[in-house]
Amino acid sequence: MSPRPYFYLSLLIVAICFDKTRAQNIVESNSTNLTANPVTLTGRDASEFFFSAADFKKAALNVSKDDPLLRKLNAHVAELVEGAPWMPLHHTLGISGYETYFDHPDEYFYALSIAVPFLSTELAEKTRGLLGGMAVETPPFAKDGLDRRAGRARESYDVPVELRRAGRGGASNLFGVYAWWSYCSYANRKPSVGVRELPPLPESPYKFNIQSAGSGKDEAEKLNGDLAGLIGFIRLARAGRDRDAEEKAEKKFQELLELRINLERVNPRILEKTFSASKSLHNCKLARYCDLTPEIGAAVGKWSSGCGPGHLKAFREERNGWYLAFGDRMIGGENYTNPLHFSRALFAGATFIEELPGGQLAPFLDVPWCKADLYFIEKCVYALWAKAGRPWIELK
């Protein structure tokens, strides 16, 4: 037999071997096997996390006016306000297709409202004006979001119109209710909508499997968003003296918070598949740390028996460079770059669950991924809050 058939046979054997082994370019591993027994929370345990809030107003008073982070925050918000309205961001991943970001007003209201205390007087008033206009046309608790093809392009690269997703964004959870409370609280706006006009409370019993590795539908992110929404609902109901609505929301919050805490305690598989991009191949997400508010982060930090901080620390340190804008792929595989939700989730987890000091958080800011980058605004505020001593306020 000539050498050529042996050559082709060897290639076939190699191909079969590669097909049978785990692909080496897919980064889907978790970092620890930390677990703990499930815990049962009382109503009093849960109440701690809707009776207190991160005090961004006090933090702003304690931040040096010469802090470079403060200047970066003001400059970025000024660009956002002056250039509005903005088109949702089109971000190409690679083999996982592309994603669309900032296509719902809930992220606008949250990021900009927590930034207001840190802004100059003139810019703060302009920001309130922008949000006030959006509150009439596209409130953060609305089901429908923003037109994905309308507004000024955010990207630093050209995106053909036909490649952008059509239609409007949509709310995937109740995070917008929390964003509405944030707007009323941090932007000093009186609630103009009663809780009876807000979206209904989550179904009962709440469907969530803490042992699941995830179906790709981002259930853990939805759980975070629904928990945040319940916090906002409780606070708004109390402000409106609607005790019946408040009590119902408190019971539901206790149920969901226990699920969230036990997810962290019993399930170390923090990296999940996701269908949030246009294609599902090799696409992963830290869903349980997305839409993470200060209160939920504090609850995980307190009640997860060290699992939450341990998971995040190990995962983050194994992926040095996780914070870089357009950084090389560190989750999923065969993509050009990381998704935006990756660094956002790790930064929020580092701030509220790991409780890293502000001096350590600040270098993780890097540069914005685009113009009007709402996640960059969030990260600036979180780092400034941590540098100011992480103040909290007890709510009445």
Mean pLDDT of 236-254: 96
As a whole number of Å, the end-to-end CA separation of the chain is 88
> How confident is residue 239, by pLDDT bands cut at 50, 70 and 90?
very high
Token pair, residue 89, equals 């961001």
Mean per-residue pLDDT over the chain, rounded: 91
Q: Is the pLDDT of residue 365 over 90?
A: yes
Mean pLDDT of 346-350: 98
Model pTM?
0.92
Instruction: State the Cα–Cα distance between residues 273 and 212, nearest whole angstrom.
Output: 11
What percent of the chain is modeled with pLDDT above 90? Answer: 82
What percent of the chain is modeled with pLDDT above 70? Answer: 92
Q: Is the pLDDT of residue 26 over 80?
A: no
* pLDDT at position 140: 97
Residue reference for tokens 């909290």: 392
Instruction: State the Cα–Cα distance between residues 149 and 151, nearest whole angstrom.
Output: 7
Q: Is the pLDDT of residue 376 over 60?
A: yes
Among 11-15, 140-144, 182-186, 217-221, the range scoring the smallest mean pLDDT is 11-15
* pLDDT at position 12: 43
Mean pLDDT of 5-10: 46
Hey, how many other C-beta atoms are within 10 angstroms of the C-beta on 121? 7
Q: Is the pLDDT of residue 255 over 80?
A: yes
Exposed/middle/buried for residue 7 (C-beta within 10 Å: 0-12, 13-18, 19+): exposed
Among 95-104, 109-118, 290-299, 327-336, the range scoring the smallest mean pLDDT is 327-336
Name the residue among 141, 137, 161 with its Cα closest to residue 201: 141
Give residue-wise pLDDT tens across range 277-292. Answer: 999 888 899 999 999 9
* pLDDT at position 108: 98
Give residue-wise pLDDT tens across range 77-100. Answer: 999 999 999 999 999 999 999 999
* pLDDT at position 30: 64
* pLDDT at position 28: 57
* pLDDT at position 18: 36
> How confident is residue 45, by pLDDT bands cut at 50, 70 and 90?
very high
Q: Is the pLDDT of residue 307 over 80?
A: yes
Instruction: State the Cα–Cα distance between residues 194 and 23, nearest whole angstrom.
Output: 53
